[in-house]
Chain A
Amino acid sequence: MIGKLYRGGRKFVYEIDRLTRFSVKMVLSCFGRPIYLSETMEQMYLIGIGSLFLVVLTGIFAGQAMALQFSNELADFGSKNYLGRIMSLAILRELGPILTGLMVAARVAAGITAEIGSMKSSNQLDALLAFGVDPIRKLAAPRLLALVVMVPVLTIICDVIAIVGGWIIAIFLAHITSTTYLSAVNERLTFGNVFMGVLKPVVFALIIAFISCYKGFTTRGGTKGVGQSTTESVMISSISILIINFVLTKVVFSYLKGYL
């Protein structure tokens, strides 16, 4: 039992070490030449436009459901006018980044790992090396850059859509005036909240990029291995996002409380 735990622990530390080294390599690959601009633009399109529908759909229904829950609860205290404030806080700080992060992790991380993993198992990565091309620079760096740009953009879209979803509930079901709801939303659009709402998706983008590319590059065992890596990639990215979200929230509360 203890031996098993020791081996498991050792393997975990080994994997973390490899992931860290790989992530550093990925970041360094974003600088210097050659720059794969067309690949980066293509990935931005695939990640951004490809995930847009999913993010919009998630944002609108999650926003509406939250607004419905909050408005009922706030009505008991006669504080329905605060709906906009609570919606703004919850969406900017938590719901927008988390939902977008998880949606992108599910959709994009799976795609990245499966694509790179298939290339690995059919020797295409070795072929790139044989042709004097660094596969990390060619495949991983454009995906990292695209995710770092597109996840915050998608999060902002998700935030706006969720707030609009709340607005629909506020107007038609909670019977709050549009001005009351929107001015309450505006009140909580402070630097701290917006900063937290943008910082989180950037960190989530890094997590998704590092884990999905690492899992793709370390795929072994043919088609079955690709499937396994893809599943692990989505699972680890999603769990990491939830854990890091808590850590970030704690850090921001500790150091930026005055701005919130």
Chain B
Amino acid sequence: MIRFENVNFGYDERQVLHDVSFHIKPGESRIFLGPSGSGKSTILRLILGLDCPWSGQIYIDGENICGQKLKKLQQIRKRIGMVFQDGALFDSMTIGENVGYYLFEHTNMQEDEIEHEARRMLEFVDLDPDILDKLPEELSGGMRRRVAIARALLSTRPKIMLFDEPTTGLDPQSTQNVMNLIMKLRQEENIAVIIVTHQIADALKLADKFVVIQNGLVRFDGDMEELRTSTQPEVQGFLTPFRESINEVVKRDFV
């Protein structure tokens, strides 16, 4: 589904990713862990083709996206839903216009049909459909994040969803709501999720495979058990503060 082969990338002259390779098979979900500034979000941008790697190849469903023209990239992007950090809602549009944006832009659907779809999607993400006429600034951080998920879902009904720090900056209740929603996407809609986060405690509950990135290098790529028993000093160093959470999840899964 998604394959990175020896990808190097950076901004201006600063290299962010060093020889990154991994393979996410169809239906698999993956969490990218790592400290802030390690290059996690850059990977999502590369998957979407928003940036082009310095060297190496990126394949989405077998198609190499590097160096593709905008039109071709747009087609590839239609298979992927993206929830940006902080939602990236269009702040001059109402919630209804945000959620129905893709339909407004790319279909000939009537306004009332789009509104109906937007209401349905807001209900799916456990939000009151009556917020349709509100502006993003009138919503809390957690609600904005859920609106962003609804917007991404209503766009192309993607099979892959990318989440950039979906729970960062949220209170515990909102974090729980967003996590429940991501789990619902996996279980009910069968959507593969790729999540970038530095909040390990939340991440452990959302996927079964993990990639640890540090200073732009892939330090680990494997499942929970391998992660827990990894002897790599970089991985151990990163996981130490979260050791208790990992053991709790392992224990819970075992029970």
- Which residues of A are interface residues toward B (Cβ below 8 A)? 118-119, 122-124, 126-127, 129-134
Measured CA separation A124–B81 after assembly (Å):
14
- What's the minimum C-beta distance from B160 to chain A, rounded to whole angstroms? 12
- A127 adjacent to B88 (CB under 8 Å): yes
Contact residue among A124, A129, A130, A132 (Cβ-Cβ distance under 8 Å from B90): A124
B contact residues around A132 at 8 Å (CB): 74, 77-78, 102, 105-106, 156
Measured CA separation A122–B152 after assembly (Å):
17
Measured CA separation A17–B71 after assembly (Å):
24
Q: With A126-B82, A130-B80, A132-B102 given, name 13 new contacts (CB 8 A).
A: A119-B90, A123-B88, A124-B90, A127-B89, A127-B90, A130-B48, A130-B77, A130-B81, A130-B82, A130-B84, A130-B152, A131-B101, A132-B106
- What's the minimum C-beta distance from A220 to chain B, rounded to whole angstroms? 9
Nearest-CB residue, chain B, relative to A115: B92
- Once A131-B102, A132-B77, A134-B70 are accepted as A-B contacts, the answer to whether A124 and B48 lie under 8 Å apart by CB is no
Contact residue among B77, B78, B86 (Cβ-Cβ distance under 8 Å from A122): B86
Measured CA separation A131–B77 after assembly (Å):
7
A contact residues around B89 at 8 Å (CB): 124, 127
- Which residues of B are interface residues toward A (Cβ below 8 A)? 45, 48, 50, 70, 74, 77-78, 80-82, 84-86, 88-91, 101-102, 105-106, 152, 155-156
- What's the minimum C-beta distance from B70 to chain A, rounded to whole angstroms? 6
- What's the minimum C-beta distance from A33 to chain B, rounded to whole angstroms? 12
Nearest-CB residue, chain B, relative to A136: B70
- A126 adjacent to B105 (CB under 8 Å): no
- A123 adjacent to B77 (CB under 8 Å): no
- B78 adjacent to A126 (CB under 8 Å): no
- A129 adjacent to B155 (CB under 8 Å): no
- Once A129-B48, A129-B50, A131-B101 are accepted as A-B contacts, the answer to whether A124 and B91 lie under 8 Å apart by CB is yes
Contact residue among A119, A124, A126 (Cβ-Cβ distance under 8 Å from B50): A126
A contact residues around B152 at 8 Å (CB): 130
- A123 adjacent to B84 (CB under 8 Å): yes
Measured CA separation A126–B48 after assembly (Å):
9
- Once A131-B155, A132-B77, A133-B105 are accepted as A-B contacts, the answer to whether A122 and B88 lie under 8 Å apart by CB is yes
- What's the minimum C-beta distance from B35 to chain A, rounded to whole angstroms? 20
Measured CA separation A134–B71 after assembly (Å):
9
B contact residues around A133 at 8 Å (CB): 105
- What's the minimum C-beta distance from A223 to chain B, rounded to whole angstroms? 14
- What's the minimum C-beta distance from B165 to chain A, rounded to whole angstroms? 11
B contact residues around A122 at 8 Å (CB): 86, 88, 91
B contact residues around A134 at 8 Å (CB): 70, 74
- What's the minimum C-beta distance from B74 to chain A, rounded to whole angstroms? 4
- Once A122-B91, A132-B106, A133-B105 are accepted as A-B contacts, the answer to whether A127 and B74 lie under 8 Å apart by CB is no
A contact residues around B106 at 8 Å (CB): 132
Measured CA separation A123–B165 after assembly (Å):
13
A contact residues around B90 at 8 Å (CB): 119, 124, 127
- B86 adjacent to A123 (CB under 8 Å): yes
- B82 adjacent to A127 (CB under 8 Å): yes
- What's the minimum C-beta distance from A96 to chain B, rounded to whole angstroms? 33
